[in-house]
Amino acid sequence: MTARISWEVRGGTSGAGEAVLLVPPLGRGRASWSNQLPALLDAHRCVLFDPRGIGESKDAGPGPLSAATLAEDAVAALDAAGVERAHVVGWSLGAAAATLVALDHPERVTSLSLLTPWARTDAHLATAFRVLRDLVEHAGALSAEVATLWLILSRSAVNAAGAGLVDGAQADCADPGYPSAETMRAYLDGGIAFDVLDRLGTVAVPTLVVGGTDDRLVDVAHAREIAAAVPGARLHVLEGEGASHALPVERAAEVNQLLTAFLAEHTTTDQTTAAHR
């Protein structure tokens, strides 16, 4: 049984540009990609979706939530949109799910782009996820959201936000589509359990890996590890101010340039049917 997934296709009608599937990070929905859409829609149709339990995908579905269920939701969005094959782009846990799509459904993937990814959760990352899970359980959504923003944003971004960081977190938590505590705990547990490092040698699609040297949540060593394990993978490490876990936000221009150049390099003839819901 698969949960009902809310999805949409942006950027044209049937045949108007190759499809790009955008897989959002942990606890977030399709709005996560607002900084990438203007650049991608110049040449592509973008398939966006809210994972189960988030945004307009209200039904969290049966069983635990994880990178695997996020990958299932991604493939379900492709199926619903009538897209046979797409460039797959994932961020954070979305990168974990995108990797699973490439491993388990290679015929659906034209290329793979992984932003601030990891392939095996180490003790450092597992500890961060457990702290966030404990905050969700014992301190509430607002405390967990503030801590998440503190972890994923750069020091300069947090300083610039000041008290606005808490205001933004309050607005996020008040959104009707914000995930429940149960949903967040399940995704965090799924993040702790994620491990596909030993399978990466079988990834058979062109792969771009992007990490940041100022990522306090997922150390850039994970991106380097993935690039070393995936045959022919291309690694880009961003340095300096804003090179955080939130690269698609803080370093959007550079991320967009990397994505559009990589997608253009790996464009093929693509047979799809576009739709939206």
- Give me the domains of the chain, ranges plus CATH numbers: 6-120+195-265 (3.40.50.1820)
Nearest to 89 by CA among 32, 128, 145, 148: 32
pLDDT digits (tens, 9 = 90+) for 128-186: 999 999 999 999 999 999 999 999 999 999 999 999 999 999 999 999 999 999 999 99
At 4 the pLDDT is 80
User: For residues 246 and 153, is the Cβ–Cβ distance under 8 A?
Assistant: yes
Cα of first residue to Cα of last residue in the chain, in angstroms, is: 20
pLDDT digits (tens, 9 = 90+) for 10-65: 986 544 579 999 999 999 999 999 999 999 998 999 999 999 999 999 776 657 89
Nearest to 43 by CA among 275, 261, 274: 261
Give the pair of three-digit tokens for residue 187. Answer: 């995704």
> pLDDT class for 3, splitting at 50, 70, 90?
low
Beta pairing, strands 234-238 & 18-23 = unpaired
Nearest to 53 by CA among 24, 29, 89, 79: 29
268, with CB counted inside 10 A (0-12, 13-18, 19+), is: exposed
196, with CB counted inside 10 A (0-12, 13-18, 19+), is: buried
pTM for the full predicted model: 0.94
At 98 the pLDDT is 99
Mean per-residue pLDDT, 70-78: 97
Mean pLDDT of the chain: 93
Mean per-residue pLDDT, 219-239: 99
